[in-house]
Amino acid sequence: MTSTLQYAVVGTGTVGTVLAQRFSDHHVPALWANTRGPETIDVTELSASITSATLDTALDADVIILAIPFFQVRELGGRRPDWSGKIVVDATNAFLVPNSEQILAGRLSTEYNAEAFPGAAVVKSFNQTAARQLAEKRPPEFGKRVVFVSSNDSAASATVAELCTELGFAPIELGRLDEGGVLIQARNALVLRELYELPSELEKNTQVTSAVGRDLTPGTWTIDPVHSSITFSVRHLMVGRVRGRFGDFSGAITVPENGTPNIAATIAVGSVDTGNPTRDEHLRAPDVFDADDSPTATLVSVDMHGTGQNDWVLIIDFTLRGITKRLPLAFSFLGVSPGMGHGEVAGFEGVIQLKRSDFGVLTDTPMLAGGAPMLGDTVDVTVCLEAVKAPAAPTGSEGDAAPA
């Protein structure tokens, strides 16, 4: 799976640090924030997928993980009057909190915390085990640590379960908070359990056979724009999304005999198409893509890391409007086909998240009532590529004559 949502970890204590490290190890992009400011957060030992951020910026994310003390949760919830559209992950416990029984008054701690986030879908997860257990790095052949997920919103529960999978855990959904979710409230049956999901023999065999014959051979693989696509989406009015595509792009993947493959691509931003000519013309204007003065966006890879059998993170320098940012691009390698007589074809799917504010796009976006921007700052870009292997250069023949 590749992420299209923006994640944030709030809290730099033990649990928050462990979760940030998990995001980093699996190259899942995430913001990391606390109440003291990004200058107090050290990300130098983490991968480029982790970005220190202000608390308010982190609270703009789609999925917000609360890794803070229980008694601070309500104070954080009070920073906004409406949390609609957000998934808030409660990783806290009321265990050992003074007067917790009087505070909760018979409610589950997550039900109590949910009151502080009106409109949000609140999910309980990452709380049932000690931080040192969450931090454990376990070889795949020894299985994945089980984490539990519970919410009264089944869609939000599924979203967090998918995130758990991305982070290398084995999620189990327990249903509603007042049903299966009771089991992961402090002191209950599934708290502090050492549980692992072991790989089956079928999974082991599938992993081995799926990798056979699928590697890219050395040479140049040219992106086929006819069978590829670059699409994007951005939040609109906090309740919907505007979607679009670019029709004109090109690029190539170079695979050396030894070393890391690299990719370079160019996108003609004037080829933007959202299905609305008036909107497309505005997107070409100076305050958005500035297509006249900066007609192309470019992508150049600088590094690559494996995160699974066929899952990778490409570290890229992305340039738009003359501004370059280094970003992670998570992608899956779909294998190699013999093609249709024009050379081998390799397939890839990837996702990159951009901040339009990083590139000076629509810096004066109108605000809605309540202070939310009309247009979201995060832009999700999905790349689906087919690349064709260039034929090998001729090496000469018996009829060739050497110069006299």
Q: Is 332 left (phi over 0), alpha (psi -120 to 50) or beta?
A: beta
Angle at 311 between CA 33 and CA 8, to 5 degrees: 10
CA distance 183 to 107: 14
Strand, coil or helix: what is 45? coil
Delimit the domains of the chain by residue range. 7-202, 219-389
Residues 178 and 108 sit within 8 Å (Cβ to Cβ): yes
**pLDDT 10s digits, 267-321:** 999 999 999 999 999 999 998 999 999 999 999 998 887 766 667 888 899 999 9
Q: Pairing relation of β-strands 7-10 and 196-197?
A: unpaired
**pLDDT 10s digits, 227-264:** 999 999 988 887 788 899 999 999 999 988 877 888 99
pTM here?
A: 0.53
7's tokens: 């994640």
Q: Which CATH superfamily is domain 7-202 in?
A: NAD(P)-binding Rossmann-like Domain (3.40.50.720)
Taking residue 39's Cβ as centre, other Cβ atoms within 10 Å add up to: 8
**pLDDT 10s digits, 111-145:** 999 999 999 999 999 988 877 777 777 666 667 88
Exposed/middle/buried for 338, CB within 10 Å: 0-12, 13-18, 19+? exposed
pLDDT on residue 191: 76
Tell me the CA distances in angstroms from 87 to 69, 129, 145, 245, one per residue in order: 19, 21, 23, 27
Residue type, 153: D
Which residues make beta-bridge pairs with 353? 380
Q: Which of 3.40.50.300, 3.40.30.10, 2.40.128.110, 3.40.50.170 is the CATH number of 219-389?
A: 2.40.128.110
Share of the chain above pLDDT 90, in %: 51
Q: What is the chain's alpha carbon radius of gyration, rounded to the nearest angstrom? A: 24
47's tokens: 């991968």
Average pLDDT of 152-165? 94
CA distance 116 to 182: 20
**pLDDT 10s digits, 330-349:** 888 888 888 777 788 999 99
